[in-house]
Amino acid sequence: MNIMKQFYFSILLTFAFSFFGISQVVLPVDFESTTANYNVVGFGGVDVAVEANPDASGINTSNTVVRSTKTAGAEFWAGAEMSLDATIDFSTSEKISINTWSPKADIPVRLKLENASGGFVELDVNTTVTNQWETLTWNFTGQTAGMNFNKVVVFFEFVPGLGGDGSTYYYDNIEVVVPLSPSLPITLEEDINPTFQDFNGSNTQIITNPYQEGGNTSANVAQNIVPANEAFAGVSFSVQTIDLAQGKTFNLDVRTILPDAPILLKLENTLNGTSIERLVVVSEENQWENIIFDFGTEIDATYDKVTLFTYFNLPAPINRAAYWDNLEQNLNDLVELPVTFESATADYNVIGFEGADAAVEANPDPSGENTSDTVVRSTKTEGAQFFAGTAMTLDVPIDFSESESISIKTWSPKADIPVRLKLEGSAGEVLELDVNTTVENQWETLTWDFTGQTGEVEWLTVVLFFEFVVDLPGDGSTYYYDDIQVAAPEEELLELPVDFESTTIDYNLIGFEGAESAVVANPDPSGENTSDTVVETTKTEGAAFFAGTAMMLDVPIDFSESESISIKTWSPKADIPVRLKLEAADPAVFVELDVNTTVENQWETLTWDFTGQTAGIDFVNVVLFFEFVVDLPGDGSTYYYDDIQVADAPLSINDNLISSVVSYPNPVINTWNVQADKAITDIVIYNLFGQRIMSISPNMKNISLNMSEFKSGMYLAHIISQEGTKIIKVLKQ
């Protein structure tokens, strides 16, 4: 066939496809066309057809796919082939991807590409899942140049010598893998690099940085060769969307061989055809220079293509090389808490409403709590609504995970006026709270506590109202605020009373000389102590008799009201001494006292009376020793304690008495009766060790107490009435 006949044949073929509505089979192929003749042919024992997708799920919900059944006894090389109407275009990528569905994982799928002259390439890739769609990719990089492949052959379970077993496979969506466009910054060090499209003789490629010096020591750079006498040779490449609203300046590292080389950066939107460009002239040749392209006067818009000219409109009689790297958009600072109003790029978008005039301005009073440069001015103009205020929308929701309080530095010409803080959620949720100013004409920090109210809400808008008083219009007063942030949670200090229930305090318990101690769940939540957590201390076998547990406090013990310490204890032994030692920061300064347990295997409260021994001393270390008996080693017993606190001192019989109180019988066997002229508000009974045994609040003149369960011995009853107090010694038989 001569050239003219070939030409007419091509024209006729094109006309036929167009006139009869026949779709050409070219990559990508999705098998969805009702007019294309896919002409998929099985061979070697494969039965093949284009059918409905049997599993429209996961990554492939398309309607039609190819079924390929490798019948029982089929050749191991049995497969399916499809001829294309045009050769495969490998200009942008040499990878082929196919969606596959296999009843078997980890079997080889061979993809073979053939041309009209019998040339071919082939490659195996294994499946990774069973009974679901996945995308397999074959990488033919370096093998496709000049081959003009027009046939695709797919072999499932291509294992020499392994015949077919009747398994059915499916495949779909055969395509050249389109390389992803890179996102800025373009560093040329990533897996996804630009696909360069040179024009007017330009030649651009990624090379090893030949000049790792000065301002750019990175490994890879782009080399751009501009041919002799060409003024407008350049390179284009696609990128992920550039949003000018996020930043309007761009940096580029560049190195040229000519002085005063003009570098032009053009941003294009391929969907609507718009573009913007800036030109910068380099100041030095033969060295790296970081240049800035400023699009600050452009409106916010998006772009998806970059074009770069390294010697723009500068023809020269020689080929010219230029090198560039690190194309980066300088992003605006996000508006997120904490907000200091100091950023030059963040769009704070502070909006006054209902008569409030607001702006970010210089701090008019950089003193005291706030010496920063910039703050927000909010003027409540004459006649403004009482609910006039200032709103600011954040780019990032407020993170309340550590604290649910917001603090703001404020400056007001008036003290004791309410400042309302309102938070608005993305779905219209609202939180608001008033806090009053306390000073005038100076900075102070106000804190709004939203504890328990923030929930799982994206709080994105911060609204502030000064002098929020219903129906009180604005009077022209000017207020300022700054440094909006989530307030740091108040630090939990370790100080008395200590109940060991906190999950955040470091109790810093230290067992020593053979005592092993830790905060644990209460093993016996009954009687006097039903709390959840307590201290467990085990005096291990052979431990020193002075083995114990120390706890360092953050705050010295306050003995101003009482000089007694009470602790709830649990011991497997009764009548053993428990020593409590209190130490100052200097451990050589201490007091210590022994009190015996009175019960076993149950909780009781022991009290140590340090009256007259604590004045002028800051005790910060609490040390407890169970069974403090000289030279008696530990026997492995485990003890527990809880609720360390300053307690009422053990009572003395020398307290002032109320003459109207009468009690009987004394001694008592079962019931003890107390009478008074005025209502008795409280009765507290102690043993002679100062341990509280009973406490009631009757608010009656006549009381009968059941003491049948009390152990025999002497007790002190502290009677409190509307007239005063009285101590009575009671003997229990």
The CATH number of the domain holding residue 626 is: 2.60.120.260
Task: Show which of 330, 363, 398 is a domain's final residue.
Answer: 330
Report whether pLDDT(290) > 80. yes
Contacts of 391 (CB under 8 A, 6+ apart): 350, 351, 353, 461, 462, 463
Please indicate, yes or no, if residue 135 is contained in any of the structural domains.
yes
* pLDDT value at residue 657: 46
Which residue did the predictor score with more confidence, 284 or 254? 254
Report whether pLDDT(410) > 50. yes
247 shares a domain with 163: no
Band of residue 275 on the pLDDT scale cut at 50, 70, 90? very high
Report whether pLDDT(19) > 70. no
Band of residue 662 on the pLDDT scale cut at 50, 70, 90? confident
Report whether pLDDT(456) > 60. yes
Please indicate, yes or no, if residue 499 is contained in any of the structural domains.
no
DSSP 258-313: STT-EEEEEEE-TTT--EEEEEEE-S-SSS-EEEEEE-TTSPS-EEEEEEEESSTT
617 shares a domain with 515: yes
Q: How large is the average pLDDT for residues 682-695? A: 75
Band of residue 686 on the pLDDT scale cut at 50, 70, 90? confident
56, 61, 63, 65: CA torsion to nearest 10: -80
390 shares a domain with 249: no
Neighbours of 81 (CB within 10 A): 18
Task: Show which of 176, 205, 236 is a domain's final residue.
Answer: 176
Please indicate, yes or no, if residue 185 is contained in any of the structural domains.
no
Sheet (strand 203-208) strand order: 203-208, 220-226, 320-330, 249-256, 289-294
Contacts of 91 (CB under 8 A, 6+ apart): none
Which residue did the predictor score with more confidence, 660 or 621? 621
Report whether pLDDT(9) > 60. no
* pLDDT value at residue 71: 98
453 shares a domain with 315: no
Element spanning 207, H or E: strand 203-208
Please indicate, yes or no, if residue 640 is contained in any of the structural domains.
yes
* pLDDT value at residue 492: 79
Q: Which range has the worst mean pLDDT, 238-242, 414-418, 419-423, 672-676?
A: 672-676
For the chain, the domain total comes to 5
127 shares a domain with 25: yes
570 shares a domain with 444: no
**Taking Cα atoms as reference points, which of 641, 628, 646 lies closest to residue 555?**
646
146 shares a domain with 120: yes
435 shares a domain with 524: no
Quick one: tokens of 146?
């000049």
Residue whose structure tokens are 């006026």: 417
151 shares a domain with 84: yes
Q: Which range has the worst mean pLDDT, 23-27, 672-676, 687-691?
A: 687-691
Please indicate, yes or no, if residue 186 is contained in any of the structural domains.
no
Report whether pLDDT(650) > 80. no
CATH number at residue 667: 2.60.40
Tell me the per-residue pLDDT of 421-437, one tens digit each, with 9 for 90 and over.
999 999 999 999 999 99
**Taking Cα atoms as reference points, which of 393, 402, 408, 401 lies closest to residue 459?**
393
The amino acid occupying position 372 is S
Report whether pLDDT(610) > 70. yes
Instruction: State which residues form the domain around 468.
Output: 351-486
* pLDDT value at residue 721: 77
Residue whose structure tokens are 């490798």: 70
Which residue did the predictor score with more confidence, 705 or 413? 413
Please indicate, yes or no, if residue 682 is contained in any of the structural domains.
yes
SS3 of 510-556: the string is EEECCEEEEEEECCCCECCECCCEEEEEEECCCCCCCCEEEEECCCC
**Taking Cα atoms as reference points, which of 343, 340, 359 lies closest to residue 351?**
359
Q: Which range has the worst mean pLDDT, 212-221, 649-658, 666-675?
A: 649-658
What are φ and ψ of residue 680, in 5° steps? -85, 120
Task: Show which of 433, 455, 486 is a domain's final residue.
Answer: 486
For residues 466 and 380, the answer to whether their CB atoms sit within 8 Å is: yes
Q: How large is the average pLDDT for residues 171-179? A: 93
Report whether pLDDT(607) > 90. yes
- For the chain, give the mean pLDDT: 92
The amino acid occupying position 345 is T
560 shares a domain with 448: no
540 shares a domain with 445: no
80 shares a domain with 51: yes
Which residue did the predictor score with more confidence, 720 or 286? 286
Go through 135-150 and write b for each residue having 16 or more CB atoms within 10 A of its CB, e for each that does not: ebebebeeebeebebb
Report whether pLDDT(358) > 70. yes
Please indicate, yes or no, if residue 298 is contained in any of the structural domains.
yes
Please indicate, yes or no, if residue 344 is contained in any of the structural domains.
no
